[in-house]
C-alpha cells in the first residue's frame, strides 16, 4: 500500500493504490472485490496490505468467476455500497459481459437505479503476455450506453480519474495500462483531488497536426512530437482520458486549429474508438480539414506472444512520425 507523500515521485501503479486507499478511508461504503487481491495483494500488488488494514469484509478475495463477482458487485452497488472490482487482466472481462452490458449499464435507464460500480481493467500489450493477457477491450463497451469508460495515461490522471470514478453514481470501467505501471512517475499533490470524467487534456500544444489518443499511446505521441519538432512539424497531443463520454469539443477545437488529424490507439483498427472519432470529425470539422484523417492502430489479429511479432503488432513512434509527415505535406 502506498500512502500519499508530498514531494515524492510515485509510479502509475502507486497512484492507483493511493486512490483506492484514500477512497476507502474517506467512505466506508467503498470495498474491493477480485481474485487474489487479499493477502496476495493482487496480480500486480496494487492492493498489497489492504486486507490487513481494512479487513476481509472490505477486501474480498473472490472465486474465479468474473460473471459471479461482477453480479454480486452490481447488487451491492444497487443497495448503496460502492464496490471496486478488479479484473486480474482486462481480457477476462468478457466472462462478465452480460452482467456489465445488460444489467449494470441498463439499470438506470430501466428504473432509475444508480449503480456506483467501478471495474478496474488492466489492459494493453508491451508486456509479452500473449493473446489472453494483452487485449484492449474498450471497444466492446464503447458501444454500450449507460457505461462510462476512462483510460488514464499519467499517475496524476490515474489517481484523479479513479477517485472520480469511485464517487460517480454510474458504472465506470477504468482501463489502466499495464505497460505504464512502473515506467511512468510523477509527484502528486498531497491534498485531495479528482479529474472530472468527460474532460480531455492537451498534453502538448501544437499547430500543425492533431493526434487524438489515450492510454500508453499518449507517451508514444509525445515522443514522436519531440522528433517531429526537429523538422519543424508541431504535433498537438490530445489525451482523451475519458472514452465515454467523449470530450468532443476538445477534439474539434484541436482539429479546427491544426486542420490535420491522426487517431491513435493500441486496440485493433476495425471498429475501434479511432473510427468513431474519425466519423465525428468528418461530420463536424469537414470544412476545417486540410488532409485526410489518418488512423494508427493495431492490425486486426490477436496480440502475438512472440516478442518480435508483438513489437510488429503494436503501434510505434515511427508510425506516428510517418503519418504526421505525410499529413504535413498536404
pLDDT digits (tens, 9 = 90+) for 99-147: 999 999 999 999 999 999 999 999 999 999 999 999 999 999 999 999 9
Specify the CATH number for the domain of residue 225: 3.40.50.920
Q: Are 216 and 266 in contact (CB under 8 A)?
A: yes
- Is residue 90 located within the same domain as residue 172? yes
Q: What is the rounded distance in angstroms from the CA atom of residue 211 to the CA atom of residue 215? A: 13
pLDDT value of position 6: 60
Q: What is the rounded distance in angstroms from the CA atom of residue 170 to the CA atom of residue 212? A: 25
Specify the CATH number for the domain of residue 182: 3.40.50.970
Grade residue 4 by pLDDT with cuts at 50, 70 and 90.
Answer: low
Q: pLDDT per residue over 222-253, tens digit each?
A: 999 999 999 999 999 999 999 999 999 999 99
Q: Which of 133, 177, 219, 265 is catalytic?
A: 133
- Is residue 206 located within the same domain as residue 83? no
Mean pLDDT estimate for the chain: 96
How far CA 188 is from CA of 150, 166, 266, in Å, comes to: 19, 19, 27
- Is residue 48 located within the same domain as residue 72? yes
Task: Please indicate, yes or no, if residue 208 is contained in any of the structural domains.
Answer: yes
Segment 182-202 shows an average pLDDT of 97
pLDDT value of position 86: 98
- Is residue 178 located within the same domain as residue 252? no
Checking if the pLDDT of 209 tops 70, the result is: yes
What pTM, to 2 d.p., does this model score?
0.96
Q: pLDDT per residue over 255-264, tens digit each?
A: 999 999 999 9
133 included as an active-site residue: yes
DSSP per-residue string spanning 237-296: EEE--EEES--HHHHHHHHHHHS-EEEEEEEESTTSHHHHHHHHHHHHSGGG-SS--EEE
Contacts 24+ apart (CB under 8 A), 74-78: 74/99, 74/103, 74/104, 74/107, 74/115, 74/117, 74/171, 76/31, 77/104, 77/114, 77/115, 77/116, 77/117, 77/171, 78/107, 78/113, 78/114, 78/115
Grade residue 8 by pLDDT with cuts at 50, 70 and 90.
Answer: confident
Q: pLDDT per residue over 57-104, tens digit each?
A: 999 999 999 999 999 999 999 999 999 999 999 999 999 999 999 999
- Is residue 47 located within the same domain as residue 160? yes
pLDDT value of position 1: 65
Amino acid at each position: 500500500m502506498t500512502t500519499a507523500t508530498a514531494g515524492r515521485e510515485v509510479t502509475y501503479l502507486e497512484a492507483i493504490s493511493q486512490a483506492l486507499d484514500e477512497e476507502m478511508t474517506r467512505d466506508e461504503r467503498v470495498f474491493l472485490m477480485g481474485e487474489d487481491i487479499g493477502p496476495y495483494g493482487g496480480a500486480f500488488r496494487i492492493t498489497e496490505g489492504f486486507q490487513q488494514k481494512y479487513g476481509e469484509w472490505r477486501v474480498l478475495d473472490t472465486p474465479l468467476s468474473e460473471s459471479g463477482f461482477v453480479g454480486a458487485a452490481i447488487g451491492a452497488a444497487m443497495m448503496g455500497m460502492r464496490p471496486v472490482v478488479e479484473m486480474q487482466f482486462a481480457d477476462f472481462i468478457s466472462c462478465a459481459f452480460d452482467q456489465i452490458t445488460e444489467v449494470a449499464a441498463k439499470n438506470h435507464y430501466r428504473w432509475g437505479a444508480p449503480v456506483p460500480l467501478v471495474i478496474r481493467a488492466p489492459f494493453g500489450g508491451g508486456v509479452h503476455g500473449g493473446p489472453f493477457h494483452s487485449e484492449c477491450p474498450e471497444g466492446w463497451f464503447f458501444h454500450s450506453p449507460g457505461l462510462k469508460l476512462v483510460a488514464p495515461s499519467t499517475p496524476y490522471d490515474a489517481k484523479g480519474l479513479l477517485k472520480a470514478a469511485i464517487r460517480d453514481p454510474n458504472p465506470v470501467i477504468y482501463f489502466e495500462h499495464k505497460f505504464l505501471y512502473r515506467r511512468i512517475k510523477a509527484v502528486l499533490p498531497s491534498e485531495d483531488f479528482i479529474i472530472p470524467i468527460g474532460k480531455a487534456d492537451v498534453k502538448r500544444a501544437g499547430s500543425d497536426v492533431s493526434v487524438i489518443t489515450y492510454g500508453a499511446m499518449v507517451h508514444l505521441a509525445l515522443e514522436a512530437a519531440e522528433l517531429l519538432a526537429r523538422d519543424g512539424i508541431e504535433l498537438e497531443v490530445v489525451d482523451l482520458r475519458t472514452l465515454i463520454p467523449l470530450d468532443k469539443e476538445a477534439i474539434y477545437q484541436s482539429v479546427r486549429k491544426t486542420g490535420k488529424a491522426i487517431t491513435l490507439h493500441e486496440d485493433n483498427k476495425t471498429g475501434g474508438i479511432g473510427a468513431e472519432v474519425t466519423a465525428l470529425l468528418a461530420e463536424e470539422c469537414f470544412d476545417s480539414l486540410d488532409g485526410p484523417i489518418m488512423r494508427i492502430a493495431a492490425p486486426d489479429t490477436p496480440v502475438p506472444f512472440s516478442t518480435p511479432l508483438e513489437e510488429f503488432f503494436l503501434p510505434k513512434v515511427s508510425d506516428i512520425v510517418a503519418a504526421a509527415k505525410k499529413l504535413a505535406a498536404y
